[in-house]
Amino acid sequence: MYDTTIAAKLLGQLESFLGRISPHFHKPVARFIGDMIYGIMVEKDVKLSSIVRALKERTTPKKVEDRLSRMLSSNGLEAGLHGVIASEGAKKVHKDTLIILDPSDVQKPYAKKMEYLAKVWDGSKGGVGDNLGFWGCMAVACESGGRRPIPLHFRLWSADSPGFVSENEEVKAIVDEITRHTKKRGIFVYDRGGDNIEFYRHFIGKGLDFIVRLKERHVRSWKRNVMCGELAWQCQMRYREVVTFDHHGTERRVTVEFGVVPVRLPDIPDRLLHMVVVRGFGQKPMMLLTTLAKTTTREALWQVVEGYITRWRVEDTIRHVKQSYGLEDMRLFKYDKIKAMAAIVLATTYFSMAWIGNAEKHQVIARSIARMSFRIHEVPEFHFYSIADGASDILKRGRRWRGFDPEEAEKRDEASLFAFFGMNTG
């Protein structure tokens, strides 16, 4: 395909995607969302000055930037985008689809005037340090063993903002938003940060399946309370499997053994759960608490082990969002605009990863876009970096963005509807 052809097809798909979004917003807001997604894709940057440069509007850059900044405060923008993306992504979530929760943060060490900057995670200290920024969490859907995640939710928050209760409440709100659209389909997967009695109560109370990696805690087994680490060493390893996974950019193959022990939580004694124990990833056993593994068959236990391993394989997603779209380089002062920008980046990420990158009917254009990115090595299996790079290059060389017109989109939909019924009533 020539550049102009690929660009035209890509813009056509962007308009189709915006056609799904626009019914949920007033027309000026829908146009604004289209401008933002297009600008972020072209410049791979969330700075308003960069987006203005991509739009190439026939007015002064200052007026365009003021308009974009003003529209970021549109009422219901963040919540509306969260709802639309969760609804679209939920269509791809089945009973055994994994819904992976990945807490993160956006660090702004040199920002001084951004509203409600708070202390965030410091990796060197292994806890909250003096770094300033915003907490966040991304949720993605992925089939077990797969590497093609589908963004479902992404939000930022500040522990110093008015109305903030706790990180637990923020994550539970994400779970509720997703569950509302998936109708409780899917299996939530959470790292050790999810080993929290509040989350267990929430998951169990909502009737949701989950896989959570345990830290050291008391569990109840055989009518006695025991530390889960001690119980893990006593667990019979029923099965063995060779596992291939990525470790800091290097592919590793390890032989793991796994088994299961039925347990209860002392704080929720009336619910039987299962602790799947895995040995081989480190000196200590890995312990996975789950509502699954209701039988001791290899298939039942492997579903849990593979489900958690899949969480490792999609950790590139949040890194992709930060690196491909310059999320940590945003320069907005108002808290509501910062949160709205995160929602717009979610929509941009969904378009590139799920609408284009994962959809079977769009595979031709996705491959064409990935090939257009300038890369010395072959396109990696996590090919969304290539799609982001290729889309940027193609759109820069393609025709100028004329903006999304919700009224034109409605007319096209009505014409398609009349044509469909015309053909079927002929």
Average pLDDT per consecutive 10 residues, the chain (426 residues; last block may be shorter): 72 91 94 96 94 93 96 96 97 96 89 90 65 93 88 95 94 97 97 94 97 95 92 94 72 88 96 96 94 94 94 76 86 96 95 72 47 40 66 76 78 48 44
Same domain, 102 and 178: yes
In-domain check, residue 29: yes
Q: Within 13 Å, how many C-alpha atoms sit on residue 211's CB side? A: 29
Is residue 337 in some structural domain?
Answer: no
Distance CA 286, CA 358 (A): 31
- Domain's final residue, options 287, 316, 345: 316
User: Could you say which of 316, 341, 370 is where a domain stops?
Assistant: 316
Do 87 and 138 lie in one domain? The reply is: yes
At residue 413, the pLDDT reads 53
Q: In terms of domains, do 367 and 296 share one?
A: no
Domain boundary among 316, 332, 366: 316
- In angstroms, rounded to a whole number, what is the distance separating the alpha carbons of residues 24 and 32? 13
Q: How many domains does the chain have?
A: 2
309 occurs within a structural domain: yes
Residues 375 and 248 placed together within one structural domain of the fold: no
Same domain, 302 and 368: no
Q: Are residues 204 and 307 in the same domain?
A: yes
**One domain for residues 168 and 287:** yes
Q: Are residues 192 and 309 in the same domain?
A: yes
Domain contains 243: yes
Please report whether residue 348 resides in a domain: no
Q: Is residue 271 part of a domain?
A: yes
56 and 84, same domain (yes or no): no
Shared-domain flag, residues 89 and 66: no
- Please say whether the beta carbons of 270 and 337 come within 8 A: no
Does residue 303 share a domain with residue 407?
A: no
Q: Which domain holds residue 184?
A: 80-316
The domain spanning residue 185 has which CATH number? Answer: 3.90.350.10
Task: Say yes or no: 196 and 255 in one domain.
Answer: yes
Examine residue 174 and state whether it is found in any structural domain, yes or no. Answer: yes
Residue 338 covered by a domain = no
Beta-carbon contacts of 67 under 8 Å, excluding residues fewer than 6 positions away, are 32
Q: What gap in Å lies between CA 159 and CA 105, rounded to an integer?
A: 12
- Give the count of alpha carbons within 13 A of 387, CB side only: 25
